A and B are shown apart, each in its own frame.
With several copies, the nearest count.
Chain A
Amino acid sequence: MKMVVAYVRHEAFEPIRTELLELGFPSISITEVKGSGRQKGITERYRGAELTNYLRPKVKIECVVSDGDVQTIVDTVLKHGRTGAVGDGKVFVLPVEQAYRVRTGESGEEILQAHPDAAAATSA
């Protein structure tokens, strides 16, 4: 199992979420983060004084999938996240050793499996 961690623009998230759902990966978690990368800060003004802001808001997407599905997730993020401008973000893949479903206490890769009904319900 791997955790795909993607830092992307806010605007990119909704198309990513929609396509992942269609592909059968409804399960993700997101966090609002601030990131700095290869960019200058932007300058803000307040009552005449200046303030340079080096951090820009990004969305961090976390999605744990079995090894075979990693590329699908990465490709979906890359497809929708790209504007071609600096600041589009990065995707990282981290190893995961074990997984549990809280509702049932089950563990192992099978808890990650896509639920066909969830995907179906949405595409309907």
Chain B
Amino acid sequence: MLASLLLPATALAQEETTLDSLSQRVGALTDELNTTWIMVATALVFFMQAGFAFLEIGFSRGKNAGMGIAKILVNFSIASIMWWVIGFAIAFGGGGWLAGETGFLFQFGRDLSGESAGSADVGFFIFQTMFVCVSLAIVWGTTIERIKFAAYIAFAIVFAGIIYPLIAHWGWGGGLFAEIGSGVQDFAGSSIVHLTGATGALAAVLLLGPRRGKYGPDGRPRAIPGHNMPLFGLGVLILWLGWFGFNGGSTLGTAGSGMAEVIAVTNLGAVGGVLGATALIYALTKKLDVGMIGNGAIAGLVAITAPCGYVEMWAAPIIGFIGGLIVVAGVLAIDKKLDDPVGALSAHGLAGIWGTLACGIWASPRLVESLGVGTDGLWYSGSFEQLGVQAAAVALTFITVLVLSLIAFAIIKATIGLRVSEEVEAAGLDITEHGMYGYPEQFIPAPELEGYGALSTRTPSPGVAPTTQEVTA
């Protein structure tokens, strides 16, 4: 009975089959399988937005818990639009070392101009949309609990429209990085996505300052605990899940089933990060700090992001483990001077740098050859060449993004303002900017909420629902 609905493909092959027509069918099928995988990866990377949202919400105080939802939705939306309008063109629209030049308002003119892009291109476009949104999300964790909502909007436009696209063009769009040495190795973006986001965060925090009360009169940092470790953990687990699409999808296809290797390597990197962070924080404080262990997972994932296509499986837990050590040490060190409530500067910034450099150490001949980018790592070649190339890319990314972001934030600060007033900060952003607490019942007295309707209008019937009505003994 369903035959009419779901025609099996064989039934469609009406015309006579020739070797050529069959070869074409196989070609089309290959494209479709690649796109299928990229769409799976797109969905997974999209979900990382929920990961970032909950990581940040968990690390916020309860009075700033609801705004995280509005923030992630609006930021994602602005970035999606800006990427479509100009970002994608700058990043991947061909062109020279600096930026691309075609593909603005991608697809807009397709049916008008006849210049048509295939569906596979659209797949690449939407997959990359998710990447710019990840990079942007990284910027904001560091700024929570004191930044103005308007600042998100302004910076998101610049970041998704220009800053990230430039770096993406340099790294993946055929720009600058292809000309450093024999090419920069950054498989899924330890630098291009994560360091870029973290550097934006650094620029923000430099102009924004710490939360009120973060530093004592003596200048020593004080803990301002976030309100919800389970939600923080949900964020970490969702990010980990999404990373299988982030790294796995960066194969841009299923050729040679190579995405399986990438995913296995990614997982071992992440578990290395967990173990490294757990070991170090326990050694230092004798406590299994939940936040640090979660940060360790993120750091392991960030660190393995650049190398995941370039290194053998055995190198992954090592890279991740060191990433886990770095994030703990980094959080402790940075906390002394900069107020980064979620540890993004360490987890995405320092671990991103480490991951990019790690390619220069462990990039394996087998994989370098198959990808055709850069040269073998120090471990195999004994040469520091690739390590130098990687360091140059890190430096270029860091400086470019820092300068551009500082300019952008300085203009925002001078015009619409960057930071909420002391009273707003004290009251919390939920009630002030969004009109309602994230947990209304926690802050609004329940009696007021329940007080609607006078008691006199109610007929007590104690036998029925002995829950607000007591039962006489």
Contact = CB atoms under 8 A, between A and B. Distances in A.
Interface string B435-454: 11100100111111011111
A48 B281 contact: yes
A5 B147 CA distance: 38
Interface string A1-45: 000000001111111010000000010001010100111101011
Contacts of B223: 44-47, 49-51
B426 interface: yes
Interface in A77-124: 80-87, 115, 117-118, 120-122
A80 B455 CA distance: 7
Interface centre among A39, A47, A85, A120 (most CB of B within 10 A): A47
B384 to A, nearest CB: 34
A30 B182 CA distance: 67
B17 interface: no
A117 B473 CA distance: 6
Contacts of B435: 44-46
Interface string B316-351: 000000000000100110010000000100000000
B258 interface: no
A49 B340 CA distance: 12
B118 interface: no
Contacts of B460: 83-85
Interface of B: 221-225, 281, 284-285, 287, 289, 291-292, 295, 328, 331-332, 335, 343, 426, 431, 435-437, 440, 443-448, 450-456, 458, 460, 462, 466-473
B453 A11 contact: yes
A38 B472 contact: yes
Closest CB pairs A-B (n = 7) = A14-B451, A39-B470, A45-B435, A87-B470, A49-B223, A13-B447, A118-B473
Contacts of B448: 13-14, 53-55
A35 B225 CA distance: 21
A42 B446 CA distance: 16
A118 B471 CA distance: 11
A85 B469 contact: yes
A104 to B, nearest CB: 13
A51 B225 contact: yes
A9 B455 contact: yes
B455 A15 contact: yes
Contact of B436 (A38, A45, A84, A86): A45
Given A11-B455, A12-B455, A80-B455, A42 B445 contact: no
Contact of B455 (A32, A48, A83): A83
Nearest to A84: B460
B424 to A, nearest CB: 13
A103 to B, nearest CB: 10
B444 A44 contact: yes
A48 B473 contact: no
Interface of A: 9-15, 17, 26, 30, 32, 34, 37-40, 42, 44-51, 53-57, 59, 80-87, 115, 117-118, 120-122
Contact of A44 (B295, B436, B462): B436
A8 B450 CA distance: 13
Q: Which of A32, A37, A55, A86 gathers most chain B CB within 10 Å?
A: A86
A30 B450 CA distance: 14
A10 B450 contact: yes
B454 A80 contact: yes
B287 A45 contact: yes
A86 B225 CA distance: 28
B445 A55 contact: yes
B222 A49 contact: yes
Contacts of A53: 444-445, 448
Contacts of B466: 40, 42
A54 B451 CA distance: 12
13 contacts: A10-B468, A11-B450, A13-B451, A14-B452, A40-B470, A40-B472, A45-B287, A46-B224, A46-B440, A47-B289, A47-B291, A83-B460, A86-B469
A39 B287 CA distance: 23
A112 B455 CA distance: 25
Contacts of A59: 447
A13 B332 CA distance: 29
B309 to A, nearest CB: 32
A9 B452 CA distance: 13
Contacts of B436: 44-46, 51
Contacts of B343: 47
Most buried by B among A50, A82, A118: A50
A54 B445 CA distance: 9
Contacts of A26: 473
- Which residue of A9, A46, A50 has the most chain B CB atoms within 10 A of its CB atom? A46
Q: Could you say which of B224, B443, B444, B453 has the most chain A C-beta atoms within 10 Å of its C-beta?
A: B444
Nearest to A16: B451
Contacts of A12: 451, 455
A30 B447 contact: yes
A15 B454 contact: yes
B453 to A, nearest CB: 7
B450 A48 contact: no
Given A39-B473, A86-B462, A122-B473, A9 B446 contact: no
